[in-house]
Amino acid sequence: MVDVRDPSSPRFAPIAGRDPEAVSRPVAIVWPCPLPVGAYVAAGREVEVPRPVCPSCSGPLVFWSGYWRHIRAAGRCRKMFVPRLRCAPCRVSHALLPAFVLAWRLDAAETVGTVIGEVAGGAGGVRPAAARAGVPHTTARGWVRRFTGRGSELGVAFAALAVDLGGEAVRPPAGAGRFALAAITAAFDAALALPGWLAVGRWRFASAVSGGRLLAANTVSPWFVVGERRFMPPVPSAPP
């Protein structure tokens, strides 16, 4: 069976000869990747990624190995490379995930977001949305349940982010899922005033600012600290 879990979890095995402490608390950094999933996959290990600073100490990170995981998009399941970066002073390694990846999820953020948008938005049921997206009904149902279950806190966090980015205050519609959707949209609309986010898109934006944890059970997300904007802004791509 394919292990669809993101190996940034502690089950990731340390590389022989390295200090095991270094991978005992791996942390994922999500970057606002505008590449189509297919282009990222096709680049393999050669994929061009940004090199962020350490989220803990702001020191330089160095590329340090990486791993392969699966991603399903447009009905195809493929392997993609995830680079790993390491901060020497903190002795912590960070997986560098493109924003089309959601932690612990096989499916791309757009697929997940499209289903959630349809169902939590009230446009239709899970079954037809899952069929259109080409994912199992039970998988889609799990996404929607988690999203609506966390809807209130997601709504509050994204609504605050929207205001922080200079956007409109969100008037919460009835229902936690709709509130979260409205807040994500408001925050994304506000982010469009900044360079780069248009090419990234709404669901990758939601993934990026939540550190890939949009649908994670863990409700503590440092990426939502308002006023600090701890998420990574998109880098306008340089002309070839």
Nearer to Zn ion, 3 or 228 (CB): 228
Measured in whole angstroms, the distance separating CA 221 from the mean position of its chain's CA atoms is: 12
Nearer to Zn ion, 86 or 150 (CB): 86
Which pair of tokens denotes residue 9? 């979890």
Give the nearest distance from C-beta 230 to Zn ion in angstroms. Answer: 14
Nearest alpha carbon to residue 118 among 105, 109, 127, 106: 127
Give the nearest distance from C-beta 29 to Zn ion in angstroms. Answer: 11
Nearer to Zn ion, 87 or 119 (CB): 87
Give the nearest distance from C-beta 222 to Zn ion in angstroms. Answer: 14
Burial of 20 (0-12, 13-18, 19+ CB in 10 A): exposed
Half-sphere exposure of 211 (CA within 13 A, CB side): 19
Nearer to Zn ion, 25 or 79 (CB): 25
Nearer to Zn ion, 38 or 59 (CB): 59
Using an 8 Å Cβ cutoff, are 154 and 184 in contact? yes
> Looking at the DSSP assignment, which residues form a beta bridge with residue 78?
71
Nearer to Zn ion, 57 or 235 (CB): 57
Give the nearest distance from C-beta 60 to Zn ion in angstroms. Answer: 9
Give the nearest distance from C-beta 54 to Zn ion in angstroms. Answer: 3
Residues of this chain that bind Zn ion (CB under 5 A): 54, 56-57, 59, 87, 90
Give the nearest distance from C-beta 232 to Zn ion in angstroms. Answer: 15
Please state the φ and ψ torsions of residue 216, each to the nearest 5 degrees. -80, 155
Query: Distance between terminal CA atoms of the chain?
Result: 41
* SS3 category, 73: strand
Please state the φ and ψ torsions of residue 148, each to the nearest 5 degrees. -70, -30
